[in-house]
Amino acid sequence: MASYSTNEFKGGLKVMLDGDPCSIVENEFVKPGKGQAFNRVRLRNLKTGRVWERTFRSGESLEGADVMDRDMEYLYNDGEFFHFMEPESFEQHQADAATVGDAAKWLKEQDVCVVTLYNGAPLAVTPPNHVILEITDTDPGVRGDTAQGGTKPATLVTGAVVKVPLFLEIGDTIKVDTRSAEYLGRAKED
Amino acid sequence: MSEISVWRPTAPLENLRRRAALLADIRRFFAERQVLEMEVPILSRRATSDPHIDSITADCSGAPAYMATSPEFGLKRLVAAGIGDCYYLGKAFRNGEAGGRHNPEFTMLEWYRMGWDDHRLMIEVGELLSWLLKIARVRSYSYRALFLQQLGVDPHRAAFAELKAVVSRVLELSFEPAGRDECLDLLMSHYIEPNMGEGITLVYDFPATQAALARVEEDELGVPVARRFEAYVGGMELANGYWELTDAAEQQRRFVSDHGYREDNGKPVYPFEERLVQALESGLPECAGVALGVDRLLMLACGAGRIEEVIAFPVDRA
């Protein structure tokens, strides 16, 4: 695997740090007037999701990490593993609950999400930014309150809970932003 | 940045108009004070010996030439020749310096005042900055006072182990600091600068080991310090000034020692400016000089967060 010098660090580059694969979030060149140059780098540990802030000497390098992002279709959960499939090769991968993490509450069968592979095995799962899901539980709808006003919690078919406007009811289908768990609007049912 | 419009400037045109006005204001400031604008070579057969600044090498008429990392050698030779108060406003070049506040090609303002020391020049830097940026608040601290206030450590007297302990308390590093100066650079750039606060801040009396081309004298506690200062606005470093070294032998010694440092650290070694040493031998008037980053000044004037917002064509598009 290639190694990368601090001046090649840019957002999204995958490198190894302290034995863990990390994704570079931000790299800032820092140089005091007459002093030596450093790079202040923020990296996301892809195993734990934690963000690290580290200072390097400019010109230092890190090993690249064998990490790849692949679009995959979510197939099903067998109770122990989540199963994904690469759409072109039909190659299947299984990931445990720890790997899928928070993404689990947005995963609907046949939706396409991004599976991050590390040394060929799933390391993390990123759901689509927007998903369309059915409400399976919420307080009864309040008629006539369609524009503004309050919100109420609604449980979706995948188990996620989001805040929705008061007029929505069980059985309605809505569009949600998975990054913020924000209700975006009603979705038309096909 | 979108690939389809790489011919375009990265800076909004409004900021570029602001640049023109800023350059005009700077020239007006010096014209009113009878400081002369000078041009010096930006392509030279000699390079900087600064341990932490790398030159960009060019090929000129079959021999190596170097893009000036600052106009100081040319200006000081003019000062030694008797030109008097003078300034340079133009380009300077530093290899490998690119980031949110750095571009390898940048605009520098550097000026010299005859008979002044660093403290007198600090006042003028404060005046220029408050006038250009409309900031009334100017504060000054010694380097020691800042470290004591923010980190509880005396930067001139603390042992290496003590400085290392402070560094590991406030920063996560991927390496072991190699010496006192590296610790001080880390603390200054990563901790003190970001916490410097609003307004204009002038910092003086740097560690003697970071003297560059400034005189070293004892401070009020009898500690040798470099008579060097830096100016910051809102935590952004803008200017670096010296009460200039006039001792030719000491200048020669520093050039040689810088060369040694560069060799020991595997950095390129360039021919140093022995004609500056000759100029000092012939007698450099007592003077103070300061260099100021104009692109950063413009960032402050425009409220820009990154240098490409004030440079039409940064190195990626140049």
Contact A55, A6 (CB under 8 A): no
What pLDDT score does A144 carry?
Answer: 64
Average pLDDT of span B72-81: 97
The reply to whether residue A40 touches residue B98, judged by beta carbons under 8 angstroms, is no
What's the rounded mean pLDDT across residues B116-128?
98
- Does the pLDDT value for residue A149 go beyond 90? no
In this prediction, residue B137 carries a pLDDT of 92
Q: Is A36 on the interface with B (CB under 8 A)?
A: yes
* Of residues A29, A35, A38, nearest to B97 (C-beta): A29
Q: Do B175 and A56 touch (CB under 8 A)?
A: yes
Q: Is the pLDDT of residue A150 over 50?
A: yes
Q: What 3-state DSSP class applies to B229?
A: strand
* pLDDT score, position A142: 75
Please give the pLDDT value at position B2: 47
Range 2-31 of A in CB contact (< 8 A) with B: 7, 17, 28-31
Phi, psi (rounded to 5 degrees) for B206: -80, 165
**Is pLDDT at A190 greater than 70 in this prediction?**
no
Q: How confident is the prediction for chain A on average, in pLDDT?
A: 91
Confidence of residue B161 (pLDDT cuts 50, 70, 90): very high
Please give the torsion angle defined by the CA atoms of residues B147, B153, B158 and B164, in that order, rounded to the nearest 10 degrees. Answer: -90
For B8, the token pair is: 């375009």
pLDDT at B51 over 70: yes
Task: Choose among A17, A31, A60: nearest Cβ to B102.
Answer: A31
CA distance B306 to B153: 32
Angle between helix axes B72-80 and B274-283 (nearest 10 degrees) is 30
Say how far apart CA B317 and CA A128 lie, in whole Å.
34
**Residues A173 and A162: beta-carbon distance below 8 Å:** no
Higher pLDDT, B114 or A146: B114
**B270: nearest Cα among B262, B278, B281:** B262
Burial B65-75, CB ≥16 within 10 A → b, else e: bbbbbbbbbbb
What is the predicted ipTM? 0.88
Q: What is the mean pLDDT of residues A12-16?
A: 93
User: Distance between CA atoms of A22 and A43, rounded to whole angstroms?
Assistant: 6
Please say if the pLDDT value at position B87 is more than 90.
yes
A100-109, A136-145, B98-107, B148-157: least confident range: A136-145
A120 contacts chain B (CB < 8 A): no
Considering chain B, what percentage of its residues have pLDDT values greater than 70?
A: 99
Q: How confident is the model at residue A141 (pLDDT cuts 50, 70, 90)?
A: confident
Decide if pLDDT at B132 tops 80.
Answer: yes
A42 near B CB under 8 A: no
Report the alpha-carbon distance of residue A64 to residue A16 in Å, rounded: 6
Q: Kindly report which listed range (A7-11, A30-34, B78-82) carries the lowest average pLDDT score.
A: A30-34
Write the pLDDT tens digit of every residue in A30-87.
Answer: 998 788 899 999 999 988 889 999 999 999 999 999 998 999 999 999 999 999 999 9
Q: Does A45 touch chain B (CB under 8 A)?
A: no
| Residues contacting B288, CB < 8 A, separation 6+ | B112, B113, B116, B117, B118, B120, B121, B241, B242, B243, B244
Tell me the C-alpha distance between B271 and B49, whole Å.
8
Rg (CA), chain B: 20
Looking at the predicted structure, is the pLDDT value of residue B79 above 90? yes
> Among A30, A37, A52, whose Cβ lies nearest the Cβ of B52?
A37
C-alpha A156/C-alpha A133 separation (Å) is 6
Is B222 exposed, middle or buried, given 0-12, 13-18 or 19+ CB atoms closer than 10 A?
exposed
- A55 and B52 within 8 Å at the Cβ level: the answer is no
Chain CA centroid to CA A60, Å: 30
State the Cα angle at A49 between A48 and A51, rounded to 5°: 115
User: How many beta carbons lie within 10 A of that of residue B3, not counting itself?
Assistant: 5
Query: Which residues of B touch chain A, with CB atoms under 8 Å apart?
Result: 50-53, 96-102, 171-175, 181-182, 184-186, 188-190, 193, 210, 212, 230, 237, 240
Buried/exposed code over B107-141 (b: 16+ C-beta within 10 A; e: otherwise): bbbbbbbeebbbeebbebbbebbbebbebeebebb
| β-bridge partners, B201 | B139, B232
Strand partners, A4: A62
Residue B1 clears pLDDT 50, i.e. is over it = no
pTM strictly above 0.90? no
What is the number of other CB atoms lying within 10 angstroms of the CB of residue B32?
A: 8
Q: Per residue in B264-306, pLDDT tens?
A: 988 999 998 999 999 999 999 999 999 999 999 999 999 999 9
What's the whole-number average pLDDT of chain B? 95
Kindly state the DSSP code that residue B189 receives in the 8-state scheme: I
Could B173 and A54 be called an inter-chain contact, meaning their C-beta atoms sit closer than 8 Å? yes
What's the one-letter identity of residue B47?
A
Mean pLDDT for A168-180 is 94
Interface residue A146 vs chain B (CB under 8 A): no
